[in-house]
Chain A
Amino acid sequence: MKIYDVVIIGAGVIGTSIARDLARYKLDIALLEKEEEPAFGVSKSNSGIIHPGIQNSPSSLKGRLCVQGNFLIRSLSKELNIDFKESGELVVAFNEEETRELLRLKKEAESLGVPALEIVDKTWLRQNEPNLSAEVVAALYAPTAGIISPYRLVYGLAENAVKNGVEIFTETKVENIIYSKPNFEIFSSKGLFRSRYVINSAGLFADEISKMLGVDYFKIRPRKGEEFILDKKKENLTHHLILPLPSKTSKGVIIIKTADGNPMIGPTAEDIEDKEDLSTSDSGFNKVLSSARRLVPSINDKDIIAYFAGLRPVAGDDFIIKHENKVPGFINVVGIQSPGLTASPAIALLVTSILKDSGQALKKKFIFHAHRKKTMHLFQSPLLKAKKLIKKDPSYGDIVCRCEMVSAKEIRDAVKQGAKTMDGIKFRTRAQAGRCHGSFCTTRIMKILAEERKIPVISVTKRGKGSEIVKESRFCFSEQKE
């Protein structure tokens, strides 16, 4: 039976970042994911903010890796052809005391190496952020903050990792791990895997994975964040990310600009027990709305067109990224809450060096395909470019989702790139994420998905087994032509 050099558990942004970096070396790598697609755990609910590095203790891993990650994400996004936009951010103050706190934050951030920070006044704010509340007296401006699509980043990393030899196994849940020196035996729902190293990036369930090997000094406690998405028409409500001063447990309710154009407000920060509780609440709604209106008074509840909740995998105040000497070959990369997305490229590098330090030889491959082809989205292309695309391939003009202008070709491509579910198609192409929320396009997308995957339409799911869209078919034959 094949013995992998490395098995990575969890295909979120951390697992796929590590996989992609390790793919530079001559290693046999398997990435195991319990959901039907990568990013379906913690990563898909990420706010998509690339933090500049403010608000992290200079002595923490969070601080160091965030600043490094902010820098690295720029070249990474170019290589993978994922859109990264440097929007800049403003941490705002409402009075003298808060302004003093801004100065303290600035100093702390500068000692970490965060560049180009400046304190801006009311005049600057009036000119550059006109919809910001007039109650704001000053702000800390961090130009290196940015926005990215968190799930499209994961897909880019996963695809590129696979192109460079990584094997990704989805619907593969790790049930037990036994250390049988010098290898690990990993018992999963899809069979046994053997490897020399195990990297634990299992997000919310990382403590359960670690416990399988007797390493149980940390516990993952979910901290829920509810987010509310605003109509795309309000895209230019703000030009920068707007943040209040942070509290002990969270960065507060932020006015976020997303990579898809819709503004987003949130998140809340609520410690809960249930690792599967992704519900939103009326109290969360009210809290986010009132906090957001404090920053930008013109926001009102009619602007809200969608909402969701995510869970942060909290293991304490900082990341835990270490080789567990008690179990040689086992590396924990856990408790990756904010600024985990930003830090991910730096975390991958750190894990690579931990691997090297623990004795694994890392020989660079002769050929590493660093670049990933850009996925063409009609809705992002100017009309002339759209014309060329359609001329090249007529099915670009066959529009399935008319709210977001997604063609049949894009949907088929998404399936070829790994989308297996309706949510997978939504995250990759934006189909079903527009004004009508899938009311008009769902049927056709289901049929394309069924046709491309060669499964019956009644097996098409929202996000994996148990979430089938329909219950029964009235047709005798199981497949219908699209």
Chain B
Amino acid sequence: MAAAVSAHENGVKDILLIERDQYLGGILNQCIHTGFGINYFKEALTGPEYAGRFIEKVRNTPDIEVSLKSIAVKLTSDRIVTFLKPGKLETVKARAVIMATGCREKTREMTHIQGSRPAGIFSAGLAQKLINIEGLLPGKEVVVVGSGDVGLIMARRFVMEGAKVKAIIEIQKETRGLLRNMVQCVEDFDIPVYFNHKISRIFGDSRVEKVSVVRVDNDFNEVPASLFEIQCDTILMSVGLIPENELIEMAGVRIEEDRTSVPGIFVCGNSFKIYDIVDAVTEDSFLTGKLAANYIASQ
């Protein structure tokens, strides 16, 4: 949205915003905690409030056409975009394309954790959506794997919903997340954190029953004598985010430093690289919108 608004402010009068969900806002819609916009708006907003500021700007800009429930399925290096929506498959050619497709989470399946594959294992973002958007509590006794921001936020969220968060397990010697989250989510809620530890095995046939946890040495090898178990019915994975740029790859476009290998195709936000705070994403997106506008003007 920021990129669209910025492109418009810099002279582009014909903009199509393709969004796969049923409403604008992206991942911010499920981030109901505050802390968004401290830099950009000088206020501490919730995710939906922050998104709401941009939705209003987009709604007030008739030159920005919004297509919801629309998923882009193909991108070519000469800026042809094919997208699907209920009832239609459309192909458009653009003078410039901006990819702002965000990121996805690293899941249990991507690293080998030995043991069974029961119900009750969630990526932190999925758990967040289930609780905040759907009002469903994924589990009652939780172990969080990884101390990334999403995991810390969700650890607190579970406690607030009456679940027991037994531990946060972090393989590194310190958190990957923001310090303020360590304080506001972990310390303030008395959640035990095990640094230099990893999950050794997952137990449970139909549903998670327990995990075994082990300390690791400086080379990340398991120290067998330190093995202990934690009873739980839920495992939250918060072990990293991956920029979602499959379309870019499909088009044979490479991402280099701060631009792509094809002039006219731009990437911004988390689909370019993982940002820690949304204000930085907005700044990046505003800049990208301007660059796209300049590119069009120069053609």
Q: How far is the CA of A436 from the CA of B102 in the complex (A)?
A: 13
Q: How far is the CA of A387 from the CA of B82 in the complex (A)?
A: 11
Binds A, one of B137-145, B170-178, B261-269, B271-279: B137-145
Complex contact B115–A471 (CB within 8 A):
no
- From known contacts A443-B126, A470-B138, A474-B135, infer whether A390 and B89 are also in contact, taking CB-CB under 8 Å: yes
- From known contacts A305-B109, A439-B123, infer whether A470 and B89 are also in contact, taking CB-CB under 8 Å: no
Binds A, one of B41-49, B67-75, B286-294: B67-75
Q: How far is the CA of A279 from the CA of B201 in the complex (A)?
A: 9
A361: interface (CB < 8 Å): no
What residues of A have a CB within 8 angstroms of the CB of B130 in the complex? 442-443, 470
Question: Which among B88, B114, B117, B134 is the interface contact of A285 at CB below 8 angstroms?
Answer: B114
Over the window 115-132 of chain A, the binary record of Cβ atoms lying under 8 Å from chain B Cβ atoms (1 yes, 0 no) is 000000000000000000
Complex contact B136–A470 (CB within 8 A):
yes
Q: How far is the CA of A473 from the CA of B88 in the complex (A)?
A: 35
* Interface of chain B: mostly helix, strand, loop or mixed: mixed
Over the window 258-283 of chain A, the binary record of Cβ atoms lying under 8 Å from chain B Cβ atoms (1 yes, 0 no) is 00000000000000000010111110
B231: interface (CB < 8 Å): no
Complex contact A395–B86 (CB within 8 A):
yes
A405: interface (CB < 8 Å): yes
Complex contact A437–B109 (CB within 8 A):
yes
Q: How far is the CA of A461 from the CA of B119 in the complex (A)?
A: 8
What residues of A have a CB within 8 angstroms of the CB of B134 in the complex? 443, 447, 457, 480
Over the window 371-404 of chain A, the binary record of Cβ atoms lying under 8 Å from chain B Cβ atoms (1 yes, 0 no) is 0000000100001001100110011011100100
Complex contact B20–A399 (CB within 8 A):
yes
The bracket for how many chain A residues form the interface is: 35 or more
Complex contact A285–B112 (CB within 8 A):
yes
What residues of B have a CB within 8 angstroms of the CB of A58 in the complex? none
What residues of A have a CB within 8 angstroms of the CB of B119 in the complex? 461-463, 467-469
- From known contacts A443-B129, A458-B136, infer whether A390 and B87 are also in contact, taking CB-CB under 8 Å: yes
What residues of B have a CB within 8 angstroms of the CB of A278 in the complex? 116-117, 205
Q: How far is the CA of A399 from the CA of B69 in the complex (A)?
A: 8
B280: interface (CB < 8 Å): no
B110: interface (CB < 8 Å): yes
Q: How far is the CA of A126 from the CA of B90 in the complex (A)?
A: 42
The smallest C-beta distance from A111 to any residue of chain B, in angstroms, reads 42
Question: Which among A386, A436, A464 is the interface contact of B107 at CB below 8 angstroms?
Answer: A436
Question: Which among A280, A397, A447 is the interface contact of B85 at CB below 8 angstroms?
Answer: A397
A304: interface (CB < 8 Å): yes
* Residue among B20, B69, B114, B115 facing the most chain A CB atoms (10 A cut-off): B114
Q: How far is the CA of A437 from the CA of B116 in the complex (A)?
A: 16
Over the window 88-128 of chain B, the binary record of Cβ atoms lying under 8 Å from chain A Cβ atoms (1 yes, 0 no) is 11000000000000001101111010111111000101100
Question: Which among A378, A394, A442, A447 is the interface contact of B87 at CB below 8 angstroms?
Answer: A394
The smallest C-beta distance from A322 to any residue of chain B, in angstroms, reads 33
B207: interface (CB < 8 Å): yes
B226: interface (CB < 8 Å): no
Complex contact B112–A469 (CB within 8 A):
no
Q: How far is the CA of A466 from the CA of B105 in the complex (A)?
A: 26
A193: interface (CB < 8 Å): no
What residues of A have a CB within 8 angstroms of the CB of B112 in the complex? 228, 280, 282, 285, 301, 304, 307
A417-469 residues with Cβ-Cβ distance < 8 A to B are: 435-440, 442-443, 447, 457-458, 461-469
The smallest C-beta distance from B273 to any residue of chain A, in angstroms, reads 18
Complex contact B71–A402 (CB within 8 A):
yes
Complex contact A279–B104 (CB within 8 A):
no
B133: interface (CB < 8 Å): yes
Across the interface, name the chain B residue whose C-beta is closest to A387.
B89
Question: Which among A282, A435, A436, A471 is the interface contact of B139 at CB below 8 angstroms?
Answer: A471
The smallest C-beta distance from A57 to any residue of chain B, in angstroms, reads 35
- From known contacts A399-B71, A464-B206, A472-B137, infer whether A306 and B89 are also in contact, taking CB-CB under 8 Å: no
Complex contact A467–B206 (CB within 8 A):
yes
Across the interface, name the chain A residue whose C-beta is closest to B134.
A443
A475: interface (CB < 8 Å): yes
Q: How far is the CA of A173 from the CA of B233 in the complex (A)?
A: 26
A308: interface (CB < 8 Å): yes
Q: How far is the CA of A468 from the CA of B116 in the complex (A)?
A: 16
Question: Which among A276, A279, A470 is the interface contact of B114 at CB below 8 angstroms?
Answer: A279
Complex contact B104–A435 (CB within 8 A):
yes
What residues of B have a CB within 8 angstroms of the CB of A387 in the complex? 89
Question: Which among A301, A397, A439, A472 is the interface contact of B126 at CB below 8 angstroms?
Answer: A439
Provide 17 A-B residue pairs closer than 8 Å at the C-beta atoms, listed in order of the A residue.
A279-B116, A387-B89, A390-B89, A395-B86, A405-B73, A437-B109, A439-B104, A442-B130, A443-B126, A457-B134, A466-B205, A466-B206, A466-B207, A468-B207, A470-B138, A470-B139, A472-B136
Name A residues whose Cβ lies closer than 8 Å to a Cβ of B. Answer: 228, 276, 278-282, 284-285, 301, 304-308, 378, 383, 386-387, 390-391, 394-395, 397-399, 402, 405, 435-440, 442-443, 447, 457-458, 461-475, 480
Name B residues whose Cβ lies closer than 8 Å to a Cβ of A. Answer: 20, 69, 71, 73-74, 82, 84-89, 104-105, 107-110, 112, 114-119, 123, 125-126, 129-130, 133-140, 161, 201, 205-207, 233, 246
